[in-house]
């Protein structure tokens, strides 16, 4: 496996933009319907921020329907949101690492799927 910094263009920019792309990585293990609240908050953010973001939900062996729920919820923003999944559950560290490997952004942020510090905390 190549180091992330060697695989990614560190000046990654969103297509047609001078702003660097930021990737938000959200590892998830069976969050259930609560993930809908997270999505609605993120959706509003993605539609209103002038900055360029992508969101990666990394479903770590979820057995509660989360991948299907997210794929349905995120349909209208498929160009900015990806739902990654793997089985079996391998732990949060593995899920974060997978998200880091798949992310396209020059800036990478990860937090729990319930965004415990709110988007304001993520933006700081």
Domain ranges of the chain: 21-113
Average pLDDT over the chain reads: 89
Over range 55-68, report the average pLDDT. 97
User: Which own/partner contact pairs does 69-72 have at CB distance under 8 Å and 24+ positions apart?
Assistant: 69/33, 69/35, 69/36, 70/35, 70/39
- Is pLDDT of 122 > 90? no
pLDDT at 81: 98
Give the pLDDT score at 30: 97
Q: What is the CATH number of domain 21-113?
A: 3.90.550.10
Can you give the pLDDT at residue 19? 73
């Amino acid at each position: 496996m190549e180091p992330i910094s060697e695989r990614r263009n560190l000046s990654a920019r969103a297509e047609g933009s001078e702003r660097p792309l930021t990737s938000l990585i959200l590892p998830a293990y069976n969050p259930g319907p609560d993930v809908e609240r997270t999505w609605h908050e993120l959706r509003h953010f993605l539609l209103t921020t002038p900055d360029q973001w992508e969101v990666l939900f990394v479903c770590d062996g979820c057995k509660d329907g989360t991948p299907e729920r997210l794929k349905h919820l995120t349909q209208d923003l498929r160009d900015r949101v990806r739902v990654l999944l793997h089985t079996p559950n391998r732990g949060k560290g593995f899920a974060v690492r997978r998200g880091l490997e798949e992310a396209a952004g020059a800036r990478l942020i990860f937090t729990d799927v319930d965004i415990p510090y709110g988007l304001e905390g993520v933006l700081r």
